[in-house]
Chain A
């Protein structure tokens, strides 16, 4: 971490502006806290307000100016919200979809990423460019045909993969061109000598990948995992298109459905909102490093 503030210049040239302006007394803490505390507060006000409203009675919520702290926190909003819609179902569905998509992406993308990074095979260059070209296509261009393809899978292969089944939420997302690209870039930085030694000893390609390359690639895998979890868990448009039955809904879709049914019952709605957000927020704070890394690496290396 570098600090952009200039270090103490007390001993340096006395005419610099910054030393002149320095106040005589010193705060017991950095004055930057006086900027950062209000700034941070402002950023999390929406979340705080959600939390506060979720503990109010409907009478308290419908008052102006607003009640800033409920007289007695009303936790019943949570149990009422939980009972009013199958949130348990939503959680299980979201978790299932995310886990399957995550596992598949890590496996499929590392296999392909490794091959693109290390193996010279016929058509590699053209194939890679073709896959990467799909990264430029926005989802809206492909979503109507993907709907038709998924429908076909449901009608002809297995109903569990078709429209209105959570399988339809997994199927189109089992691999991403971005994941392949990202892991390929990382695998290329792994020293090739390690692999060559093992290859000479007769280890297969898969053996090399799983025993040597992947253990060295845990940071990259975790980063891709964080990105995949966030994208999959919060996905909305695709579930909205393919899912109509409540028992197949994921959290964002279920929450939106709940919103439609309880439009202005704000405390109830906010309790549902807090419950929906909690798993992802906990995961995010717990694995923050990887989430941060996933954004920083897409931005600066990608």
Chain B
């Protein structure tokens, strides 16, 4: 759109500046720019600076320590363990959520009576806060009185410790968070499925393709953009797992569920080693950037965006 100033009949120099698109543009964006500048942009730089310092968040003295925080990071066995847990969690949670979301969405992608009730039941997991979720699953998987163990007993499997067991806790958190993200992934997949033209299915059906073959050869490829979005979005969120761990295991038992962000929070706000935590945060940032870039690169090869 061309600037309108020139058409204004009585334009003094000052009037032109005040009325110009420059002023109105900047005036309108300034509240947002100031807020995001202070709370979004500035902290990125401060965090970088902090990662080269020693800080306890309270005293104003923050001596410069150079690369020491990063060096400490490489030698910290708990951090290495936290990375391992985060990778295992992400590798299970992301495909798990996508698979569950796709299956539920495929079952719900039809017009039937009561469909809105079914869909609401699937979506609603999205509205449940992570803390509520954690409390519910602690109770569901309770070793002595839990509903899940009752189900296992009924089919002849002995009671499990679940969240109280170092070898099982992380997997219970995977299952719990898949449940929590079901609503989200179902919505994404349903939106995508509704964009698949029915004529393609009809044509293939006439040619004798079974329902499964049609799903595999028509529907799945057309879901490319939805798959890519979920892959990236769920991965970013999985790498930032915190709330559910806090609500259930607090990183235990025996640090079995200490993931990166939990350790980071613990360092910064329990042990007040903020410089070290900032270095950890930056390492996480770089990892997220690299993984996202790789996913987009791979996706460009395989996804046929419409």
Residue numbers of A with Cβ under 8 A of B are 1-7, 9, 12-13, 15-18, 29-30, 32-33, 35-36, 39-40, 43-47, 49-50, 53, 61-66, 107-109, 111-112, 114-116, 118-122, 124, 127, 130-131, 134, 136-149, 171-177, 180, 192, 199, 205-206, 230, 233-234, 236-237, 240-241, 251-253, 255-256, 259, 266, 269-270, 273, 276-277, 280-281, 283-285, 288, 291-292, 295-296, 298-300, 302
Q: A4-B196, A13-B206, A141-B281 are in contact. Are A119 and B43 (CB under 8 A)?
A: no
Report, nearest first, the 3 A-B pairs whose CB atoms are least far apart. A121-B25, A145-B43, A145-B46
Q: In the complex, what residues of A have CB within 8 A of residue B88's CB?
A: none
* Contacts known (A64-B145, A256-B131); A134 close to B44, Cβ less than 8 A: yes
Q: Which residues of A contact B256 (CB under 8 A)?
A: none
Cα-based distance from A137 to B25 in the complex (angstroms): 26
CB-CB under 8 A for A16 and B184, given A35-B107, A121-B21? no
Kindly supply a per-residue 1/0 record for chain B positions 243-257, scoring 1 wherever the CB is within 8 Å of any chain A CB and 0 otherwise: 100110000000000
Report chain B residues within 8 Å CB of A296: 187-188, 190-191
Contact status A4-B110, CB under 8 Å: yes
Q: Report chain B residues within 8 Å CB of A142.
A: 39-40, 43-44, 47
Q: List 24 A-B contacts (CB under 8 A).
A: A3-B198, A7-B202, A17-B208, A49-B147, A50-B132, A115-B25, A115-B26, A115-B28, A119-B25, A136-B288, A140-B240, A141-B43, A141-B281, A141-B285, A142-B39, A145-B43, A145-B50, A149-B43, A234-B130, A236-B246, A256-B246, A269-B135, A285-B124, A296-B191
CB distance from B220 to the nearest CB of A (A): 12
The size of the chain B interface, using a CB distance under 8 A, is 118
- Which residues of B have CB within 8 Å of A285? 120, 124
User: A177 and B43: CB pair below 8 A?
Assistant: no
Q: Assess the B39–A149 pair: CB atoms within 8 A.
A: yes
Provide the residues of chain A in CB contact with B233, threshold 8 Å: 298-299
Tally inter-chain residue pairs, CB-CB below 8 A: 335
Contact A40 B219 (CB under 8 A): no
Is B171 in contact with chain A by the CB < 8 A criterion?
A: no
Pair A2/B194 contact, Cβ less than 8 Å: yes
A138 to B44, CA, bound (A): 10
Given known pairs A43-B125, A120-B3, A199-B4, the reply for A112 and B29 (CB within 8 Å) is yes
CB-CB under 8 A for A299 and B226, given A30-B112, A112-B28, A140-B284: yes
Interface SS of A by simple majority = helix
In whole angstroms, what is the CA distance A198 to B225 when docked? 39
A61 to chain B, nearest CB (A): 7
Given contacts A111-B31, A141-B43, A276-B132, contact A3 B111 (CB under 8 A): yes
CB distance from B107 to the nearest CB of A (A): 6
Residues of B within 8 A of A147 (CB): 57
B120 touches A288 (CB 8 A): yes
B59 shortest CB reach to chain A, Å: 12
**A300 near B192 (CB under 8 angstroms)?**
yes
User: Which residues does chain B contribute within 8 Å of A119, judged by CB atoms?
Assistant: 1, 21, 24-25, 28
Contacts of B82 in A (CB 8 A): none
B298 interface residue per 8 A CB criterion:
no
CA of A252 to CA of B239 in the docked complex: distance in angstroms?
A: 21
Residues of B within 8 A of A141 (CB): 43-44, 47, 281-282, 284-285
User: Nearest chain A CB to B224's CB is how many angstroms away?
Assistant: 11
Residues of A within 8 A of B127 (CB): 230, 234, 277, 280-281, 283-284, 291
| Alpha-carbon distance A283/B39, docked complex (angstroms) | 29
Asked if residues A137 and B40 are in contact (CB atoms below 8 Å), the reply is yes
